[in-house]
A and B are shown apart, each in its own frame.
Chain A
Amino acid sequence: MPATNRRGMTGTGPGTAMRRAADLGRRTEYLAFSLAGEAYAVQIAHIAEILKPLPITWVPRAPRNVVGVMSVRGRLVTVIDLRRRLSLRESPMDRRTRILLADLGAEGASSGGPHQPHQSEQIGLLVDEVMQVYRLAENEIEPPTVLGGDQPAHIRGIGRPEGALLILLDLRPLLAS
């Protein structure tokens, strides 16, 4: 069973969660994972699935960030090494390595031409370890400017749930280049 149920990782029952959401206003769910020892997170709405590594085929001449392609139930998926994309230290795959299947939705993928009518492309994101799901309220998110003036567009902000520190990534600009 390669897929891990993301709902199972919230730790709180739906009842509690809903009560808390009602108490604290609008919350967004973020999936946290680690890259080179640091905690990052992306909106869980963009993650279709969490996979244990499947065999990946190296693609010659592919962009540097691309690890290769793999087949997820017959569908061809390009895998990107997020560490390489963010210029972080790389380490070999181990048993905690996971691939997040990101689906940015139809409008996110730039279509190739008139004959590829807005078909969304799923992209695999290689991460060191998947941690947990955080439900962040707006007041728990700091703007990226706290890190200093000019931050790249793919940094959405800093999440500060219960003392932790998450770098929140925006997948669209991150995967656009």
Chain B
Amino acid sequence: MTDGGGRGDSPADKAREDFFSEAQELVDGMSRDLVLLDERSRQGKSDPELVNDVFRAVHTLKGLAGLFGAARMSAVSHELEDVLDDLRLGKIDLTTRVLDLLFQSVDLYGRLLAAERGHGPEPAPEVEALLMALGSMMGQQGGQGASPATQYDLDPSILGVLTEYEEHRLRTNIQSGLFLFRIRVQFALATIDSALEELKTKARPHGEIITYLPTGSAGDAESIELDILLASAATLDVLRQAIEGPNVAIEEIRRRTALLDPGNAPSLPAPAHHSLPPPMSLSPPTAGESPATVHPSALASDRPAPVTSPSYAPGGLDLSLRSVSQTVRVDIRKLDHLMNIVGELAIVRGAILRLTDRVRANPDRVDRAFGMRDLGLELHRLHRTFDRHLTQMQNGILEVRMVPLGQVFEKLARVVRQISREHDKHVNLVITGAETEIDKLIVEELSDPLMHMIRNAIDHGIETREVRMAVGKPPVGTIALNAFQKGNHVVLAVEDDGAGMRPELILSTAVRRGLVSAEEAKELSLREVYNLVFLPGFTTKELATDLSGRGVGMDVVKTNIAKLGGIVDITSEVGIGTKMTITLPITLAIISVLGVEVAGHSFAVPLASVEEAIALDESLVRSFEGREAMTQRGATLPICRLARLFGLSEQGPGEPDQASPSMHAGPSPIAEARARRRPQKPCVVIASVGERRLGFVVDRLIGQEDIVIKALGPSLKGVRGLAGATELGDQRVGLVLDVAALMEEVLASDKERLLAHEGRA
């Protein structure tokens, strides 16, 4: 998806775009290197070249960040660079703790980039926590006596710019037992002098202002934001009363020493387990791969993390793997191919021009040597050539949009490492089909749902090591991520060898949380039961963890996948494992559709989900409990009358129920005439998405067409069942059905259908 019309093409915007794509690539590369580094270090090897690569990436990022005024990114890069430099020079060892910090910084880079783009808040506390941790990493190793100021949660960027006198005052104040406060205040530029004086006067009775610094993040051009460092014996409440104003925020800068107390320390990944499962391996786990291999030096220096801000939750729920880059890297050969097609098209244009000239030269009389028949033949030939090249062009451009799924998988490998570590479960991620290509747009939208699914698999699926051993499973759990192309769809499966899902547990939870009633619960099929986990608010965990169990996540998975026109299915076996399958269309841009007519309105059904279309034989239709089904080749096929679903009168063409006064919004005159001329011959368009099938009853088939699909505007976003619209030849707009959503709706349980109706009303 492009960023819409809002972004211009000015050189500055262009440069910013380049910044994002380059930074994103660097971060991705860094992540890859770190995964490798992690793997090597667990095999007891070191790889100076990899460390150098990471160092170089960080160095370049620092430069980029400086150029584009991304201050936090620049600060992180600076600190990282120092750590990496020490690492490179052998001053510190590559411990798990160091690696953790490096992985954290990759996540943070992603979020910083997203924030720069305006896709989320600046992760300020996390940055400060990481800076602190990085700083301590070096301080710890270097054995330098810590200044009293470093015991406080102070922004290093402030500490860095204190004058000698200010630092001295800070130290003195801290030693005399005063508290530190940060006052963040916004001043209008016009009145800053008097306003600052006023604030100073108010603050003076309560303590000493050590320094004030502009934060550089004022809301607009007319104001400036200052951070004021105040040392005071008063409490926060007293100060708030004395100084608080409309643009003033006061907070206490806490002493970090409290966090050194293990009881208060945030639950960090237990350092006792140096042995991590390999985060990514392309082969099934080998039996000999013992998870107990430890780098000897890791044992010595792998102390619990001394400091970490309590607000920093690595791998928290807000973590997003989405890349901020909207750039696609293209193999130059693909572009050459496109260029050649353009060349071919130019030849066609030349031929048309020659033909035109020839006809225009003799407009009135028929050329004896070149009659109408020849003209027709020639035009036909040109049309065919043109058509062929256009199709090639179309396919070529689609191909350019395609990227291998491996791009997401690499990021997931990082997530698995992190999550399994936080959860102290050993997981082996086995990836197959990373080379499967899919539209860039889909890849971006896919990363977060996949992350949620994997998180879910680790948290709920994979058992602890002890439990696994007890039931005779290999101690290391396996999550298999498998992708393959199936016709016009890509199938992605996330499979774990964990505990599986217990239908009765899901049901009782759903009933307890009021998602289904006890009576409904009895009538659900196994598939419907599994699908309950996709309902918002569903969780079987009594205690929410950082990872999952808050009841968000799986509904996000379902919504995101549905947005892409895909479908999620779950199969599970107790004690064996769970498999979630995502079926997605390969591309969203240009699709082949089957035109159908319903009560005088035309709709387009994406051909990718059409199995076949047959004439409707009403005698084969059976109806039960308001649902209809017919027998087709010995199997039951649920059917849905589109006219009824869309509230159109079923008997031939006519006005929709909500009669439209406009002459254009009704059935087209041509369609009406056509319908009068011959009797209705209803057809059943059999659609299938994933394992599900449904027959749509329509009045007439129109034919097949390739269309460019466009999204309906935000004002119609509440309309379910339509994937978008397309412009037809005669300036009319044709609506494209969202087969997956309609199928979902029709096949859903009554409860869900009820909810859907309420949502629309």
**Which of A's residues lie within 8 Å of B, judged by CB?**
53-64, 66-71, 74, 76-78, 80-81, 90-93, 106, 109-112, 114-119, 121-123, 126, 175
Complex Cα gap A110–B712 (Å):
14
Of A63, A69, A114, most buried by chain B (CB within 10 Å of CB) is A69
What residues of chain B have their CB less than 8 Å away from a CB belonging to chain A?
A: 1, 3-6, 118-120, 445, 601, 646-648, 656, 658, 660-666, 710-722, 725, 727, 730-735, 760
Task: Please give, as numbers and ranges, the residues of chain B lying within 8 Å of A56 by CB-CB distance.
Answer: 662, 664-665, 733
12 contacts between A and B (CB under 8 A): A54-B731, A57-B733, A58-B665, A60-B646, A61-B720, A67-B665, A68-B665, A76-B713, A77-B713, A112-B717, A114-B120, A119-B5
Contact B119 A78 (CB under 8 A): no
Q: B733 and A60: CB pair below 8 A?
A: no
Q: Which residues of B contact A92 (CB under 8 A)?
A: 661-663
Residue of A53, A56, A66, A110 most packed against chain B (CB within 10 A): A56
Nearest CB of A to B76, in Å: 23
Q: Which residues of A contact B718 (CB under 8 A)?
A: 63
A122 contact set on B, CB distance < 8 A? 713
Contacts of A76 in B (CB 8 A): 710-713, 725, 733
Bound-state CA distance A76–B118 (Å) is: 26
B721, chain A: closest CB distance, angstroms: 7
In the A-B complex, the 4 residue pairs with the closest CB atoms = A60-B646, A119-B4, A57-B733, A58-B665
Residues B662 and A93 in contact, CB atoms below 8 Å apart: yes
Which chain A residues border B721 with CB–CB below 8 Å?
60-61
Chain A residue numbers with a CB within 8 Å of B661 are 81, 90-93
Q: Which residues of A contact B727 (CB under 8 A)?
A: 71, 74
Classify the interface of chain B: helix, strand, loop or mixed: loop
Q: Which residue of A lies closest to B120 (CB)?
A: A114
Residue in A closest to B724 when the chains form the complex, CB atoms: A76
- Chain B residues lying within 8 Å of A121, measured Cβ to Cβ, are 713-715
Q: Do the beta carbons of B715 and A78 come within 8 Å of each other?
A: yes
- A78 surroundings in chain B (CB, below 8 A): 712-713, 715-716
B732 surroundings in chain A (CB, below 8 A): 55, 57, 71
Contact B4 A116 (CB under 8 A): yes
CA distance A67 to B716 in the complex (A): 11
Q: How far, in angstroms, from A106 to B714 measured CA to CA in the complex?
A: 13
The answer to whether A118 touches B6, judged by C-beta atoms less than 8 angstroms apart, is yes
A94 and chain B: residue at smallest CB distance: B663
With A67-B660, A126-B662 known to touch, is A175 a contact of B719 (CB < 8 Å)? Answer: no
A123 to nearest B CB, angstroms? 6
Q: Which of B656, B660, B733, B734 has most chain A Cβ within 10 Å?
A: B733
Q: How far is the CA of A86 from the CA of B119 in the complex (A)?
A: 37
Residue numbers in A under 8 Å from B734 (CB-CB): 57
Alpha-carbon distance between A111 and B719 when the two chains are bound, in angstroms: 16
The answer to whether A66 touches B716 (Cβ under 8 A) is: yes
Q: What distance in Å separates the Cβ of A113 from its nearest Cβ neighbour in chain B?
A: 9
Q: Please measure, in the bound complex, the distance between the C-alpha atom of A63 and the C-alpha atom of B720, giving whole angstroms.
A: 11
**Are B1 and A69 in contact (CB-based, < 8 A)?**
no
CA separation between A8 and B431, bound complex, in Å?
A: 65
Give the docked Cα–Cα distance between A72 and B601 (Å).
20
